[in-house]
A = this chain, B = another copy of it.
Amino acid sequence: MTTKKLSFSAQTVSYYFDASFDYLEKLVKTDNAVIITDENIFSANKKKFANWRTIVLQPGEAFKIQATVDSIIQQLIELGADRKTTLIGVGGGVVTDITGYVAGIYMRGLQFGFVPTTILAMVDASIGGKNGIDVGIYKNMVGMIKQPSFLLYDYSLLKSLPKAEWINGFAEIIKHASIKDAAMFKLLEEHKLTAFRKDKQLLDQLIRRNALLKSKVVQEDEFEQGDRKLLNFGHTLGHAIENSYDLSHGHAVALGMVVAAGISAVYTGYAETNRLVKLIKQYGLPAFAVFDAEKAMQVMQSDKKRVKDLIHYVLLQKTGKAVIMPLTAEQIAPIVKKLSV
């Protein structure tokens, strides 16, 4: 196991890489903690949860809503959870987003930690303190930014992760490489997904590199005034089509990255779209799809990151180097249209 501590504005986050789930009992007293997880994870790991009080959610983004929050709050009241209780989210991004949000508002705030169980959660969703729920078609419309106390990585939890979910997670890994880490981009080009699935040491290095890359970006800009915005690369269009077409997050982000690359080609002179498309395909992700460009533009314009009439688009200058450019809908629409067929 490797441990690492990083300080954020009001909180120190401890990272336990290559750890065992059982180590949780050393971090938190079982009698003053409540685990929040979902049915899939619970039924695949029943023995692990035996010593813990556990709230089990229905799995999936469709349940990342206020009704689920209401239900968790009722269960916490019934369990007698108080201000000294620690909540532990064990799951993918939906579980960690809801757990962080409930911990932020129950009795005006409890301590909390995460055990991410998907690649996506390990390298992205569980890091950075953004939490929340969806409201109608608007993803993460309600929530807050609040850091967990700890993140525990037990790679054995990935054994039951379907291949499609591995692929999903690699979209964010490719994103990190594209905006901040040209050497990792090259490393990814040199391997295939199977290598990371088989070689635990190779995987540990990749997870840690991504977790710390994202953590450092967040640490320097927790409240998204500057560099943290770069992490939205591929997400502006990605979010706009994800719910409408019931896409996986990874597929939506992959398509979004290719559109952002196309916009970059026009506005920054970025010239490596083909290289990005090749890597995206190498990890089983889609680079192009047919979608309704007009509808996507509409949703984009109601995104919470919009400020007045400008869309702050994350563009690439070259592999490993991203910039933010405020663009009007009129500047973006023709390129989105061209790439939507």
**Which residues in A have some Cβ–Cβ distance to B below 8 Å?**
9-10, 66, 70, 73-74, 77, 80, 82-84, 104-109, 130, 132, 135-136, 138, 140-145, 302, 304-308
Contacts and interface: CB of A to CB of B under 8 A. Distances in A.
26 contacts: A10-B10, A66-B66, A73-B135, A73-B141, A73-B142, A77-B302, A80-B302, A82-B304, A82-B306, A82-B308, A83-B307, A104-B144, A105-B105, A105-B142, A106-B141, A106-B142, A107-B142, A107-B304, A108-B130, A108-B132, A108-B140, A108-B143, A108-B145, A108-B304, A109-B144, A109-B145
Nearest to A303: B82
Given A10-B10, A77-B135, A135-B77, A83 B144 contact: no
Contacts of A83: 304-305, 307
B305 A84 contact: no
Contacts of A84: 307-308
Contacts of A132: 105, 108
Contacts of A107: 141-142, 304
Most chain B CB within 10 A, of A10, A66, A108, A130, is at A108
Question: 9 smallest A-B Cβ distances: which pairs?
Answer: A107-B304, A105-B142, A108-B143, A108-B144, A84-B307, A108-B145, A105-B144, A82-B307, A82-B306
A178 to B, nearest CB: 25
Contacts of A109: 144-145
Contacts of A143: 105, 108
A78 to B, nearest CB: 10
